[in-house]
Structure 1
Amino acid sequence: MRLFLLLLAVLLPSQTLATGPDPAPCRDAVPCPLGERAYHVREPDDWDGVTPLPVLLHFHGWMRQGPLIVNHGRISGATRRRGVLLLAPNGAGKTWDFWTRRTDDVDFAAAVIEDAAKRYPIDRNRVFVSGYSYGAAMAWRYACENGNGVAAVLAVSGTLDQDEDCAEAPAEFRHVHGTRDTVLRFPFGPEGETTWPVKLWRDRMGCDGPGQEAEDWSITEHDTFARTTWECARGRVLLDVHARGHFIPRGWIARQLDELLDLPPSYP
């Protein structure tokens, strides 16, 4: 009997952590039902079916849904090559309610992680949250209300108001934004200060001083980033600024995962 159970665990890896009835099978374009809503999942390439997986929960942009995310080269192209399980929740009405604390979307996103944990052996110490545009603002909201269990947030071109009062915070916050963004405009500070986009987290996490500026860096020939890093009393904040508009820069999510997972930097 013991041998049979071991063989069963190898043959059906996605079910090994489930209790009670097996979860409905779902992957890629087939959504995972969760109450009246759903999310999508993309497994990493060459996963052995046993090793615990880091998780990237990604909030899509306005009028998008999970199927786009699990096939997006700059998102799933990064996770599947780096051994990371991608979770892509579907926003109600193809958008997110991040405007105030009174939002069901935080609870829904937390439930997505718990449901995925019934299907996969996830690494609770490496749960990352990301988002683009309105999805980035939702990632901010999630971190603000439920961030204590989040290893890092990777936000692209979307913020909350910098005077939000956040009850929680992730261990690390990483944000990228373009100074020529005309969709969700770059939040310049007084006298054009370019470190203002992460003021909320600098205040919340006890970051002193102007931060450490690195030399400008690039992943591809398309974008160059100016990075500022704050080593804070209660975590770490990184801001990458580029001179273009509203988009997910090529390789940016991949590079953040390489750094967070202690992997050699690579592209894509």
Structure 2
Amino acid sequence: MTRLFLSALLCLVGLSAAAAECAGQTPCAVGDRSYHLRVPDGWDGVSPLPVLLHFHGWGRQGSLTVRHGRIAVGYVAEHVLLVAPNGLNGSWAFRRPGSRDTDFAEAVLADVAKRYPIDRQNIFVSGYSWGANMAWRFVCESRVAVAGLLAVSGTLSQRETCARAPREMRQVFGLGDGVLAFPMGPGGDQTYPVALWRQRMGCGEGVSEGAWNARPFLTFERTRWDCADGKVVLDVHPGGHFIPHDWIPIQVGEILGLR
């Protein structure tokens, strides 16, 4: 019993030492690249942590993500280990299968697991703009089991073929997006931005859940699909190209059953 206790203690000490090397604005190195992370408030130092892997928008870095007022807040700040890889030259290689950034992000998660105990049943992947495109690419081809794909104002072509699928897919897009135009389907189909996942995950008919608000000044129209292999949710709003207040933390909270 004493030997087992000492072994567990040494393991915890090792994790703590590795974790202390980087956090917040101090990047963690993975080869010649890096990422940032934020430990949730009030973590007990022992319990396995859900993870949110977030791909930043074009021209940004993970140092912004871990202090972002629309990402690192609410259920994310309170309950989730936020992991933010740094794209090369502020960008991501998402356009074709076999992305170098999929391999990089997998290496990032492996490095995180050396520093912190992670809950592998609750790994979330999110992204904004080109980062959302990369989040789709990562989930599409990564070997990581993803509990939820949370994409903001970005997708891949709906004609892509994906080897993998998340347990839940949640997408938000603005009809007035002037940067990455809303991917309207044939005949003005506003559900087309998630057509790939609806087919891949074996979804039935969509159910309109009506209007909802995270903040009073922006209204979402939600459609939900229950699927053979999970669930797909699409939130559409009349605005443009931005991360809506509280949207990412709310999705994390709902999937984790905290909300």
TM range (shorter): over 0.9
Q: Between Structure 1 and Structure 2, how many residues are aligned?
A: 257
Deviations 1:200-232 (A, max 9, x none): 1011111122x0110200011121111111111
Taking only the aligned residue pairs, the percentage that are identical comes to 54
Aligned to 2:232: 237
Are 1:169 and 2:170 an aligned pair? no
Tell me what 2:129 maps to.
133
> How far apart, CA to CA, are the structure 2 residues paired with 1:13 and 1:226?
47
1:195-210 mapped onto 2 (5 Å cutoff) = 195-209=191-205
Counterpart for residue 222 of structure 1? 217
Unaligned runs of 5+ in 2: none
Q: Which runs of 4+ in 1 moved over 4 A?
A: 1-10
Give, as a single letter, the amino acid of the residue that structure 1 aligns with 2:244: P
Among 139, 142, 146, the alignment partner of 2:142 is 146
Using a 3 Å threshold, how does the CA distance of structure 1 residues 80 and 205 change in structure 2: closer, same or farther?
Answer: closer
Query: Is the alpha carbon distance of 1:212 and 1:30 closer, same or farther for their aligned partners in structure 2, counting shifts above 3 Å?
Result: same
Aligned 8 A contact 1:179 1:241 in 2: yes
Consecutive unaligned residues in structure 1, runs of 5 or more: 17-21
The 1:26/1:79 distance shift into structure 2, 3 A limit, reads farther
C-alpha change, 1:8 and 1:135, in structure 2 (3 Å) is same
Q: Does 1:92 align with 2:93?
A: no
CA 1:23–1:42: 2 relative to 1, 3 Å:
closer
* 1:53-202 to 2 correspondences below 5 Å: 53-78=49-74, 80-146=76-142, 149-202=145-198
Report the CA distance shift for 1:223/1:147 in structure 2 as closer, same or farther (over 3 A): farther
Q: Once the two structures are superposed, what CA deviation does each residue of 1:63-92 show, in whole Å capped at 9, x if it has no partner?
A: 000100011011112355331000000011
**TM superposition shift of 1:6:** 6.4
2:253 is aligned with 1:252: no
Distance 1:225 1:14 in 2: 41
Structure 1 length-normalised TM: 0.90
Deviation of 1:135 after TM superposition, in Å, equals 0.2
CA RMSD of aligned residues (A): 1.9
Secondary structure at the aligned position of 2:154 is classed as coil
Structure 2 counterpart of 1:44: 40
TM-score by length of 2: 0.94
